[in-house]
Amino acid sequence: MKNDARLEDLPPAADRFRRIEATPLPENLGALLDRLADEVPDRRAWDFFESGRRITYGALRTAVNRLANGFAAIGIGHGTHVGVMLPNIPELPLAWLALARIGAVMVPVNVRYTAHELDYVLGDSEASFLVVHHEFLPTVRDVLETRPGLAAGLIVAGGTAPGMHDMARLPLGRADTYAGRPPARDDLLNIQYTSGTTGFPKGCMLTHRYWLTVGLVHAHCDAQVYERILVTLPLFYMTGLWQLVMSFHQGAAVYVAARQSASRFMDWVRDHAIDFCIYPNLAYKQPPAPDDRNHRVKRANIYGFPAGDHAALEARFGFHAREGFGMTEIGCGMIVPLEAAEMVGSGSCGIPAPFRECRVADENGETVPIGAVGELLVRGPGILQGYYRKPEATAAAFWGDWFRTGDLFRQDERGWFYILGRTKDMVRRSGENIAAREVEAILLEIPEIAEAAVVPVPDALRGEEVKACLVLQDGLTRDDLAPERVIDHCRAKLAVFKVPRYLEYRTEPLPRTASGKVSKPPLLSEKADLRTGSWDRVDGCWR
């Protein structure tokens, strides 16, 4: 147990964390499902409540095995990479579990990706199959122009298309059991793409152990029994998937919304008797209502919630809201236990979660003194194996076996950690990580643009918005390159959340460091309101 000193003021939590670390993990994700199907076959596993589609654990195992046999019949085997481009419908977790049963690898794809982005992810991940919703076939057909070999591996959900496999028909007539070789804990299960400072996203190699670990930690980090867990984030992200595995570890049910909604969030919590949720910061901005405290929530996880509003959030809704820290690469990194009520409003992300060690380091990887600021490093079993086909990026992301998060932290004398900012060149908009270099690369495709720098602009609703600082070729002015043309170009190449909201045309070259790189601190500090002098694409005006 590596957390004793940091948990010395919380003996019950220390005992729980030790028990979690001593809990044997199932051999793979399918083994965990088998246990539930044997023990509680008639208990509900999930409920996609807006469509009325729900399933029990016993029926889920049968459905998973039949689909796994259907996948195997068309050539998906142990180690096959399969892209999955689906919204929040049951076919997504069903496909994931079937691929897990086979020992295949899922490559989740953001459904808002353009053909440009989809082509990159499929090529980088070496996916030979793609499960796609009928709605997104126009995007896929654009990709087929440059990747014609993918056509034979297309599996369509939510409809049919000539010459493509119908996901709904693949399980028909298949056996209720799957007899193939089971995967091991450290076999790859996901290549999960996350934005990085190198431009295009990088594929995090995540194993069965990763998902079993993060689910176990969230299921038992508090002395609570959860029966109904609300999922509102897209299932192609890691958060909704770990909530599913968390529910498996509890024998609970996930209640899945089609998409996030701040205005309907608490109605869902009440209507479905939810006892665990991830509370979206935007929901707090909804007007107070008489039934705000009418719910069964035992714990609400919050991430990056304004510290000054934390106590008021708990007072308004009457539930325990606790911060934490995690990321795709490490899963769960830190937790604030329920009993740590004194940390409400402190801004702390918590203490290291079970299976995790954390420290704050300088630019040489050496631990800094207590209270000093440095980069957070994390290690422990079940973190990413590395970035797929990117050995240099993998090497740069580690100090030995310590993963470099790229986030600036400090640790206090009691062992609590606090996030202060980022070392990475990123914009974080509504929970989405946007790599500045990816957007800059698209902007520089426009011939009239000589230089481009993307920076974050604080925003009350989204946390941050994307701003692009543009320097045009000599002799050109903004009359030669209208903002609308820049935005249209970005929309054609980037998912909608990456498209800059603000465009600033600059007449002087961008500031640079001694080594010739663009220096962004001056761009962030030269004016009190970073929107001033920019075109606002949302409001359609110059600020």
CA distances from 148 to 82, 123, 128, 129 (A): 16, 12, 11, 12
Q: What is the DSSP letter of 499?
A: S
329 and 457 fall within a common domain: no
Instruction: Evaluate if residue 196 carries a pLDDT over 70.
Output: no
> Count of alpha carbons within 13 Å of 287, Cβ hemisphere only?
2
User: What is the C-alpha separation between 234 and 147, in angstroms, rounded?
Assistant: 26
User: What is the C-alpha separation between 3 and 14, in angstroms, rounded?
Assistant: 8
Within-domain flag for 136: yes
Helical packing angle, 137-144 and 115-125, nearest 10°: 60
536 and 444 fall within a common domain: yes
Instruction: Evaluate if residue 438 carries a pLDDT over 90.
Output: no
Residue 284 dihedral angles phi and psi, to the nearest 5° = -65, -20
CA distances from 187 to 27, 121, 127 (A): 10, 21, 17
Within-domain flag for 379: no
441 and 328 fall within a common domain: no
Within-domain flag for 49: yes
Within-domain flag for 534: yes
Instruction: Tell me the pLDDT tens digit for each residue of 393-431.
Output: 999 999 999 999 988 899 999 999 998 776 678 888 887
Q: What CA dihedral angle connects 192, 276, 234 and 331, to 10 degrees?
A: -10
300 and 438 fall within a common domain: no
**Residue 332 CB: number of other CB atoms within 10 A?**
27
Within-domain flag for 218: no
Q: Is the dihedral of CA 66, 68, 69, 70 positive or negative?
A: positive
Instruction: Judge contact between 350 and 334, C-beta under 8 A.
Output: yes
pLDDT category of residue 199 using cuts at 50, 70 and 90: low
Within-domain flag for 18: no
Within-domain flag for 211: no
**Domain of 67, in residue numbers:** 27-206+224-342
CATH, residue 512? 3.30.300.30
146 and 254 fall within a common domain: yes
334 and 477 fall within a common domain: no
Average pLDDT of the chain to the nearest whole number = 93
328 and 430 fall within a common domain: no
pLDDT category of residue 8 using cuts at 50, 70 and 90: low
Q: What CA dihedral angle connects 100, 104, 108 and 113, to 10 degrees?
A: -160
Instruction: Evaluate if residue 306 carries a pLDDT over 50.
Output: yes
User: How many domains does the chain divide into?
Assistant: 2
> Residue range 87-108: average pLDDT?
98
pTM: 0.84
User: What is the C-alpha separation between 85 and 434, in angstroms, rounded?
Assistant: 19
246 and 100 fall within a common domain: yes
Instruction: Tell me the pLDDT tens digit for each residue of 344-395.
Output: 999 999 999 999 999 999 989 999 999 988 899 999 999 999 999 999 999 9
What is residue 461's predicted lDDT score, i.e. its pLDDT?
86
CATH, residue 337? 3.40.50.12780
235 and 120 fall within a common domain: yes
Q: What CA dihedral angle connects 29, 30, 35 and 38, to 10 degrees?
A: 160
Within-domain flag for 333: yes
3-state secondary structure of 293: coil
30 burial class (0-12, 13-18, 19+ CB within 10 angstroms)? buried
Q: Is the dihedral of CA 379, 433, 512, 440 positive or negative?
A: positive
